[in-house]
Structure 1
Amino acid sequence: MKLKNLKKLLSAVALGTCLVAAGCGGDEGAAGGDKGANFPDKPINMIITHGAGGDTDYNARLLARLLEKELGQPVVPNNVTGANGSIALEQYKDGDKDGYTIIATNTAALIGNKATGLSDFSYEAFEPIAIYGRQAGENIVVKADSPYQNLNDLVEASKKNPGSIKYGVSMGGGVYIASVIMDKSIGAKFNVVDTGDAANRLTSLLGGHVDASSVPYSGAKEYIESGQLRSLGTLLSERSKMLPNIPSASETYPDLYVDTYYAVLAPKGTDPAVVEKLSKAITKVVNENPEYKAEVEKMNFQSPWVLSIEETKAELKKQLDHFLKFEKYLK
């Protein structure tokens, strides 16, 4: 489905659908005043914008489980999926402002959807609570028997024979944006093929249907370690400290980075005292909970990392500015 048609569908869904869990257009002052001091006194509904089993879901559910202990109330995960997170974000951006519905997403989707035209809003339509973790990075991978030893080899080969190298992406997502940056910023001339989500991109690469792709390190790890795949670098803006031998693509091509961070948002207008309380609770889980540390190092190959409300806003603006440099090529 084309991005423009998908955007129309999202608008229809948002107008015709309002999930009971979040409500629509709730009382703006429900969490205001003294009620903020008593927050929370009932379960919190955490909307997860991506499907069960993926990295956004994994990180959100881990946070929800440990946040319960910190807040003294259940934090109930609820997956509302579709259109790279846009369906959930559209439905809940104007939801109840009492702090009892929060949204867990990833920044590549939140920011990228606006840059591609899938959404007409971004982080500014919400109250950012925290960026609370980071992905190990999409790895640009090829089969181990490919002639490309590094990213420059791959890019230069595509320039010499435009369209001859098939590069697997998921249309509209962060890896698609990276492919546009490779084209417009560094002159790579791949035959970009929509091969779906990370699992399907990996299958397509292993099966020889594409010559290169971008896959999260957590998904490619066993194939890299067994010698079936070669990583040419990550799409992180800097190397992962836990994976120091894998270079960042931006070391060679400064514009080529798509950082995927995990973020928690609240509907616009949520009581600042509630947002602050949630932010502090998340910060405490990330910085002080040993179970959290062990899990994210195992899954994300990253040390625990969290940003304050203002730091989160600054990072989201930085990512949006970066993507919007390529907006005219993405829509």
Structure 2
Amino acid sequence: MYDIKFSGPSRSGLGALASFCTIVPIYVMGVTPLAAEQVWPDGTVQLIVPASPGGGTDAAARIMAEHFQSETGASVVVVNTPGGGGAVAAEQVRAAAPDGKTVLFFHTGLLSAYHTGGYHHNPAEVFGAAVLMPVGGSYALTVNADSPWQSVDDLVSASKEAPNSLSLGIQMRGATHFMAGLFEQESDAQFRLVEAGPDADKLVQLQGGQIAAALINTPGTRQYVENGDLRVLATISGHPDRDPNVPDIPSLYELGYENVVYGLDFFILTPADTPDEVLAGINDAVKNALSDPDIVARFDNMGMPLQWLAQDEGRERLERTSELIADVTEMLGLN
């Protein structure tokens, strides 16, 4: 068992999708004039966000939009277009003019939608990849504090002794489903994967004993661990290291499950055939934003530290992630 020490504030993770579209402009006073050599933005820009207002994806897009506008003087509008796991928004951008004025702000969950049949176009092939932003933070493999499992090895051993009897709460076809698949593959554990809904529902079910374990956004476990209701056994993220926000908790990679590395990347995608100079301009704008200490602090305080990647590196990572998700999709029988 590990005592958790959280090193910063937190908020809930990605917001739930809904079936309506909301357009919300962002106004910033005292904007700077457009630079003479500026290629992007050239006119009003719409950031199409496949999430409802108020969630983590929406909040991240608004932070970026505000910075773009304040630095360039251009009008930047966040357009909330939930629905279809990102498919509705993706199609809106795919059909737009390739001028950098209509772009998709989302995350690699869209790849999961594609590989499981929820979206019919491979995002790694049909869009211009302006920038990828790996998201820090982690998910927590969590159990009830009254459970007998003090470690990951305890939980894995129990699943092997009684195959398919221990329930592991996930969101089917979402990120936690893929994390669970990698964990089962690497550990030879045999859990009963159950649809437990979003994190709020998982927390209720864990405390009520309806599920044995769950994968939950780590910041969301904070108050329950501190109150003695839940226990975190390990974390999973897109990198092998411990989550610095919970330095006393080992990562599954650290515990020997070296292929259990899975995280979300935010990205900005554009219509195909968007000019290279426009893609470079978007990439530079994100680099500038993530070099601003105030912007970095805002993301850190949300429990979502972001990293900037150069265009070529981001494109390669997008393609590798697509291949990984395809492999796990086949393993889980979701294709």
User: Shorter-chain-normalised TM-score: which range?
Assistant: 0.7 to 0.9
Label 1:207 to 1:144 Cα distance change in 2 as closer, same or farther (>3 A).
same
Candidates 257, 262, 270, aligned match of 1:258: 262
CA deviations over 1:30-76 (Å, ceiling 9, x no partner): xxxxx995543422111112233332222122111112112221221
Label 1:247 to 1:116 Cα distance change in 2 as closer, same or farther (>3 A).
farther
Please say if 1:67 is aligned against 2:71.
no
Label 1:38 to 1:297 Cα distance change in 2 as closer, same or farther (>3 A).
closer
Q: Is the 8 A contact 1:132 1:286 kept in 2?
A: no
Identity %: 28
Which range moves more in the overlay, 254-263 or 240-249? Answer: 240-249
Label 1:273 to 1:112 Cα distance change in 2 as closer, same or farther (>3 A).
same
- In structure 2, C-alpha distance between the alignment counterparts of 1:134 and 1:39, rounded to whole Å: 24
Shift, 1:290, TM fit: 2.1
Label 1:185 to 1:324 Cα distance change in 2 as closer, same or farther (>3 A).
farther
Moved over 4 A (4+): 35-38
- Residue type matched to 2:65 in 1? A
TM-score, L = length of structure 1: 0.82
Q: Is the 8 A contact 1:84 1:173 kept in 2?
A: no
Label 1:83 to 1:67 Cα distance change in 2 as closer, same or farther (>3 A).
same
Please say if 1:293 is aligned against 2:304.
no
CA deviations over 1:172-208 (Å, ceiling 9, x no partner): 1111112222334432211211122222222322332
- Residue type matched to 2:127 in 1? F
CA deviations over 1:265-304 (Å, ceiling 9, x no partner): 11111121111111101101101x12212111111263x5
- In structure 2, C-alpha distance between the alignment counterparts of 1:106 and 1:326, rounded to whole Å: 18
CA deviations over 1:124-163 (Å, ceiling 9, x no partner): 2211111234141121111222211222221221111122
Secondary structure of 2:253's partner? helix
- In structure 1, C-alpha distance between the alignment counterparts of 2:235 and 2:208, rounded to whole Å: 22
- Residue type matched to 2:287 in 1? T
Label 1:201 to 1:135 Cα distance change in 2 as closer, same or farther (>3 A).
farther
- In structure 2, C-alpha distance between the alignment counterparts of 1:169 and 1:257, rounded to whole Å: 16
Alignment length (residue pairs): 299
- In structure 1, C-alpha distance between the alignment counterparts of 2:245 and 2:266, rounded to whole Å: 18
Candidates 263, 274, 278, aligned match of 1:274: 278
Equivalent in the alignment of 1:7? none
- Residue type matched to 2:117 in 1? G
Which consecutive unaligned segments of at least 5 residues does structure 1 have?
Answer: 1-12, 14-18, 22-34
- In structure 1, C-alpha distance between the alignment counterparts of 2:234 and 2:200, rounded to whole Å: 19
Equivalent in the alignment of 1:308? 310
- Residue type matched to 1:250 in 2? Y
Secondary structure of 2:290's partner? helix
Q: Is the 8 A contact 2:178 2:329 kept in 1?
A: no
- Residue type matched to 1:67 in 2? F
Q: Is the 8 A contact 1:169 1:194 kept in 2?
A: yes
- In structure 2, C-alpha distance between the alignment counterparts of 1:264 and 1:301, rounded to whole Å: 16
